[in-house]
Structure 1
Amino acid sequence: MQKTLLVCLLTLILAGIALPACAPAPMLEPLTASPTRDSTLRPYPTSTHSATPLPTDYVTPTSSPTVTPTMTPVYYAVLENDDFYSVGWRFNVSPQQIMTANPSVNPRAMGVGTILLIPITPGPDPSATPLVELTPTATPFFTDLQAPDCYPDPQGGLWCFVLITNTTEKPVENLSGVISLQHGDETLHVSAIMPLNLLPDGKALPLIAYIQPPLPEEYTVNARVDFLLPVMPGDQRYLPATITEQTQELNADGRQATVRGWVSLPAGQPTARYVWVNATAFDAEGRIVAVRRWDSPGLLSGGNELPFTLYLYSLGGPIERVDLLVEAPALAEAPDKD
């Protein structure tokens, strides 16, 4: 009897387990696609703050103006035989600048002791950032130059001269150069100019430069020619003026020279709009010790002549000789009026 009950109970348990497994799977409803909606994307909110308006009484700040350096007042007492040109050479300013700075001084009637205002412009602030320097294109002429002859002046600057001899077999004009002062890794370049525009074939003239103070205790100086223009064949701009009756006088120590003479223009030549006579003084070693230029007070017509007098003061040793060169360009003719 017990065996029969045990069999029945086991049968019921197995039936309970098997029936769910044999039951049919439930039917799933088919999925239907949701309709597409037209919508506009809305920006996602960020933490960026909106600008805060300025107060109504706010004043926009303005930049401070750049301070422009003014001229350094330098005064000079006129010496015997001084003129605006000699004083200009001494301080590296033009005679016109001296005349403008001293409107009450008559350049032809100023006496010894006259006080002149010298308009010297201060150099750049040494702490300022230097500008980019353009390197000029080298010319094929005058590449073998001697070292410049340089002399310090009482103001702490440096006068430098380098003699240029024209070996190109043709005249050149507007010749300029560069004098370079080197101190350690630093180099200062200064423009150098000639006292005349024209340098005839076979003639020599100095390039002149002035280096503003202060100067380093030790330095080296060199020079180069950076520009010139050839005078074309048949160019009639420069007239054949000549120097006649030239005389030269030296004082006792040889440091001052007085040069006199006449500039003549042959008859039949056009009128010269100006006459320049340049004097270059040399010592016994051939070093340039002084340069001076005489400017004519007016025109010079063909068949006439002008007297000139030049005073030279040596920056170095005694003067041994003085070389002269004259320039007289033709006066341009006025165009014909119809």
Structure 2
Amino acid sequence: MKVSEYIVKICLFSGMLAMGSCGQSPQSSGTVTAPVSPDTLNKMVLIPAGTFAMGADDNTGNPDEYPKHQVKVDSFYMDEHEVTNAEFGLFVAQTGYVTTTEKPISKEELMRGLPPGSPEPDSSMLAAGALVFTPPDHAVPFNDVSQWWSFVAGANWKHPEGPDSDIKGRENHPVTQVSWEDATAFAKWAGKRLPTEAEWEYASRGGLKDQAYPWGTEALTVGQPKANTWNGNFPYKNTATDGFTGTAPVKSYKPNGYGLYDMAGNVWEWCFDLYNANYYGKDGQLAVNPQGPAEAFDPEQPGQPVRVIRGGSFMCSDEYCRGYRASARMKTTPESGLANLGFRCARSVK
């Protein structure tokens, strides 16, 4: 087995591959020109307090989206769009922060993500880097992600597809290849925090009740493009009918009812919460400002401290990943940095 193929298998066990949660943006060259402050490009929107029904709106959701239950959240502020490369570049420039994917992984860390009895990796597997979407030119079975994934040494937020790529011309695109730790560090620096999963879904719905998408019930493919998602046949043919094959500049599509952009598609977004497949309550009690479960649990990767990601990405389609639904949940390990996983921040109202 090739090193890259072996690492793909490692990532499957360690939770680095959320379904449909990784991808590749167009390549270009250059560096980021940062704004003066983190709020220069990304204003915060006040989300009013309210109660909503959290969970799948029909019978097409995944098992972890049930039962639908009542949740109350206090008002809070939320970034109107995903944190951009320019904003993250300012954070790095002012703090010297080094992201997770820029650091070599230790043998001990790697072995923790492997099933018992796995052979020890050699040194070539410990290089800093990330998984990059490398689409085939033909249809492949969806149950074998190694058909469209490669580990690329040197892939990180400044070089999302590897050392020969960078982000010139993508300053206003969402930052990717950032881990939960990276997102949390940025939020703390900016005087913000990551949104809870409940806050994220409430904000995503934009004031609509029992609607499948941030824009309502109309199918994604009806009318004008509503979000940056996969068009065509996944993973080998993207017709780009929504205008993009990779990430899109933030605010490329209409906002939802709260004035938030890209709450569906473009990139997955980190939430504060641990992920637990059995977390949604069955007692019928109103949940008030829930902060997530005390312990993580994912039956596909037991023992891993997985965190919630929300919103889907440009890799999502009806045939492979419907993560752009308001109730859709996904998860990955907090160390994961993926080419279409980013974040936006929240702030409590004091």
Relative to the length of structure 1, the TM-score reads: 0.24
Whose helix fraction is larger, Structure 1's or Structure 2's?
2
Larger Rg: 1
More strand per residue: 1 or 2?
1
Q: Which has the higher contact order (CA 8 A, sep 6+)?
A: 2
